Structure 1
């Protein structure tokens, strides 16, 4: 069963110019970027200090955003 929310976003973060990249998907872009910047959860992006939003794409449904990310 797929849970569908109103919208979703695919986003790309970097730690510096020509640095390490992180691709993600979320249903709340502003909150998720805040989580990356404050290192709210341990993981790849916090380990490599990845918190600069360099690109995003909004979709009407979260399942479309997930498909785009893949």
Structure 2
């Protein structure tokens, strides 16, 4: 059974990342307030991006991966700027500190 990972834009400007085996049905559920709590409170929503997978478990895995990404990294994915993804994956703690002295 096919699966989809998708990103919605909510009315407050936030993103919602989900997965489903029926994208059209799931989008209708979100629009009708039958989706996740996050989207129920932020209607209407619009589909910005989706990826199709051969199996729903692959889509679910991808959903969990993308949910942990920063807004900028999600936007790079949606815009097709995959070359930016490794740079945007760096954690703040991994960046060189500026103005701090090492003792």
> What's the TM-score once normalised by structure 2's chain length?
0.56
Runs of 4+ in 1 over 2 A off after TM superposition: none
CA distance in 2, matches of 1:24, 1:36: 11
CA RMSD of aligned residues (A): 1.8
Matched residue pairs, number? 64
Picking from 31, 36, 40, the partner of 2:34 is: 40
Unaligned runs of 5+ in 1: 1-5
Choose between structure 1 and 2: higher strand proportion: 1
- Choose between structure 1 and 2 for higher RCO, CA contacts under 8 A separated by at least 6 residues: 1
Choose between structure 1 and 2: higher helix proportion: 2
Unaligned runs of 5+ in 2: 65-103
